[in-house]
């Protein structure tokens, strides 16, 4: 830990005017030691690019990982899952939110106990601190990187729950983390610590709120799948069974098919729910036989699907 006061010489306004070879006592890196010195030197070198248009653009984009924006994103995933009848997506959103909140708590506890001058201030004013104590402002809350913490925590959950999106999630998290250094918001060690905290938060969420086992995002198309079918007396019962499979067991709605057991369109063997008007009479609902529900599922989950269909009132349950 170091405390390096401002020793700017007359007529100078910051490290930007002294160039990369500055090694005097008014250079914060010159008085730091070991890995901390390497960390400062790396941040100082990267900070020379902070005014580059690409760095500014990517820095603006990285604000998506700020607390409010990331909370909004997690909330949108939850809402989208609920409104779309996709319990698996809603659960992923809840896990994203939990990881984000936990990561933020861990990050904030550290920031409240350690103060480290941000690279931008260090470069401009040659004033550097890294020591225990409460920060006096945002310019002293460099360690750890909060943007990195949140981005990595959420990316880990998305990659775990949605393997098809893993590359995108990790790519965005890496971009958000990396740009914090050239935009002079964080030192490399801040980013590394933030990534570690994000992974720790996601690890904890995996154990406190585990993902749905064996969930597959896309429709089943491999050789290890089984089709389980059952007959239902009413359309309402079939719809309820579909909802239960999606909401409670995380099956993809695209893997569940409802069709007439016979050759003609049917509302079941008897009317129910929306097929009945206020007087109990049938309303535009043809009764031409049962409704067959077919579920494409991984073979090791076929037993669970069979039990669920049976509990929901399914009959003539079969596999093929």
* Dist. CA 50–CA 129, nearest whole Å: 21
Residue 265: CB atoms within 10 Å? 11
Q: Do the Cβ atoms of 29 and 44 come closer than 8 Å? A: yes
What pTM, to 2 d.p., does this model score? Answer: 0.63
* Structure token pair of residue 129: 């601190």
Residue 279: CB atoms within 10 Å? 6
Closest by CA position to 150, among listed 249, 282, 62: 62
* Dist. CA 219–CA 54, nearest whole Å: 39
Residue ranges of domains in the chain, CATH in brackets: 2-208 (1.20.144), 225-319 (3.30.70)
Segment holding 116, helix H or strand E: strand 114-116
pLDDT string in tens for the chain (320-residue length):
555 544 444 434 444 444 444 445 567 766 778 888 899 999 999 999 999 999 999 999 999 999 999 999 999 999 999 998 888 899 999 999 999 999 999 999 999 999 999 999 999 888 888 889 887 788 888 999 999 999 999 999 999 999 999 999 999 999 999 999 999 999 999 999 999 999 999 999 999 998 876 444 444 444 478 899 999 888 888 899 999 898 888 888 888 998 887 665 555 445 555 545 445 444 445 666 788 899 998 888 888 899 999 998 889 999 88
Orientation of helix 87-111 relative to helix 188-208, angle to 10°: 130
Q: Do the Cβ atoms of 209 and 94 come closer than 8 Å? A: yes
The single residue listed with the structure tokens 């006061």 is 5
């Amino acid at each position: 830990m170091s405390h390096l006061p401002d020793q700017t010489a007359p007529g100078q306004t910051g490290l930007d005017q002294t160039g990369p070879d500055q090694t005097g006592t008014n250079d914060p890196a010159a008085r730091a030691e070991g890995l901390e010195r390497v960390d400062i030197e790396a941040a100082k070198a990267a900070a020379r690019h902070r005014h580059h248009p690409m760095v500014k653009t990517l820095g603006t984009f990285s604000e998506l990982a700020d607390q409010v924006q990331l909370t909004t994103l997690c909330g949108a995933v939850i809402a989208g899952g609920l409104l779309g009848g996709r319990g698996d997506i809603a659960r992923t959103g809840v896990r994203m939110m939990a990881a984000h909140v936990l990561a933020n708590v861990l990050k904030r506890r550290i920031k409240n106990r350690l103060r480290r001058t941000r690279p931008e201030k260090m470069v401009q004013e040659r004033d550097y601190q890294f020591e225990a104590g409460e920060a006096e402002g945002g310019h002293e809350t460099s360690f750890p990187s909060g943007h990195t913490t949140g981005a990595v925590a959420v990316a880990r959950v998305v990659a775990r729950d949605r393997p098809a999106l893993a590359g995108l999630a990790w790519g965005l998290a890496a971009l958000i983390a990396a740009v914090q250094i050239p935009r002079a918001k964080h030192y490399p060690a801040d980013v590394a610590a933030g990534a570690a905290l994000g992974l720790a938060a996601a690890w904890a969420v995996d154990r406190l709120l585990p993902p749905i086992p064996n969930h597959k995002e896309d429709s089943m198309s491999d050789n290890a799948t089984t089709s389980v079918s059952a007959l239902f007396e009413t359309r309402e019962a079939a719809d309820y069974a579909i909802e239960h499979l999606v909401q409670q067991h995380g099956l993809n709605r695209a893997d569940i098919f409802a069709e007439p057991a016979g050759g003609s369109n049917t509302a079941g063997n008897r009317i129910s729910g929306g097929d009945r008007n206020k007087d109990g009479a049938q309303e535009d609902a043809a009764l031409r036989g049962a409704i067959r529900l077919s579920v494409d599922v991984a073979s090791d989950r076929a037993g669970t699907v069979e039990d669920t269909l049976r509990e929901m009132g399914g009959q003539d349950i079969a596999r093929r």
